Amino acid sequence: MRIEVKSDILGENNRTAAQMVELFRKKGIFVLNIIGSPGAGKTTLLEKVFKHLDNSLRVAVIEGDLFTEKDAARIKAMGITAIQLNTQGGCHLDAPMIERAWAELTKDRSVPLPELLIIENVGNLVCPAEFNLGEDMKLVILSVAEGADKPLKYPLIFKEAGAVVLSKTDLLPYVDFDYDGAVGDITMLHPGVQIFPLSAKTGEGIEEFCRWLKERAAEKHSIDGSSSHE
C-alpha cells in the first residue's frame, strides 16, 4: 500500500513538473534546483553570487523552508525578486508548490521575466532528490564541514545532480575533510559532473561559478526563449 501511495504522489508531481518544464522551455528560463543540508551555506552563497552578478542577469528566487521567511527576506534585501514557500514541516518542495509560486512571481505582467530562476529547496539531502520540480538541473551544495562521507551516504542526489558545489573551502585547513576522496566519490557516482570548490567568505570560485550560470542561462534562452509574458 505504501508503494502505491508513493507512486500516486510522484505521478501527480511529475505531471505538474512536465508542465512546468514546457512553460520554462517556452520562456527560455534556466531553472536551477539547489539542494543541500541545513547549514551548507545555500543562502549565503546566493547572496555572494548575486552581488557578483551585479544585475547582469535577471534573476528570481523561490525559497523553500519549513516555517520562517528569513531566507526570502535576505534575498529581497539585495533587490532580488523572491517568493517564500513554507512546507509546514514537509521535508521537500514539490512541483505544485513551484507552480503556485511561479504564478505569484509573474502576477505583475509589466515586470520582465527572469532569465534565471533559482529554487532553494528545503535543507535535506534525501527527500528533494526524488521530486522533479520542472528544473533544468539539480545542484548539490556540500559543505566541507559536513564530512567527505556524504556522497556515498546520500548517493541518489549526487547521481541526480548536474553540478556540485563544495562550499566553505576556507575551512579546509581546520576541518577533517578528505577533499580528493570526496571528489573521487562524487565522480564515481556521476562521471563528468561539474564540481565547483567555493568559499562565500573569501570569494574563491565565485567568478567561475557565476560565469557558468550566465552561460547556462544564455544557452537556455537561445533555444526558444522569450522575455514576454505571452
Q: Decide if 192 is inside a domain.
A: yes
Total of domains in the chain: 1
- The b/e string for 196-223 (b: 16+ C-beta within 10 A; e otherwise) is bbbbbeeeebbeebbeebbebbeebbee
Q: Is the pLDDT score of 153 beyond 50?
A: yes
Contact predicate 164/139, CB 8 Å: yes
Q: Decide if 54 is inside a domain.
A: yes
CATH at 217: 3.40.50.300
Q: What CA–CA distance (Å, rounded) separates 183 from 172? A: 14
Q: Decide if 198 is inside a domain.
A: yes
Residues 155-203 pLDDT 10s? 999 999 999 999 999 999 999 999 999 999 999 999 999 999 999 999 9
Q: Decide if 189 is inside a domain.
A: yes
**Residue that the C-alpha cell 526524488 belongs to:** 130
Q: Is the pLDDT score of 227 beyond 60?
A: no
Share of the chain above pLDDT 70, in %: 93
Q: Decide if 122 is inside a domain.
A: yes
Q: Decide if 229 is inside a domain.
A: no
Residues 119-152 pLDDT 10s? 999 999 999 999 999 999 999 999 999 999 999 9
Q: Which three cell numbers stand for residue 71?
A: 531566507
Across 13-17, average pLDDT: 95
Q: Is the pLDDT score of 2 beyond 50?
A: no
Can you give the residue range of the structural domain that contains 115? 2-224
Contact predicate 83/101, CB 8 Å: yes
Q: Decide if 230 is inside a domain.
A: no
Residue 190 φ/ψ region, left for φ over 0, alpha for ψ in the -120 to 50 degree band, beta for the rest? beta
Q: Is the pLDDT score of 104 beyond 90?
A: yes
Contact predicate 49/196, CB 8 Å: no
Contact predicate 82/76, CB 8 Å: yes
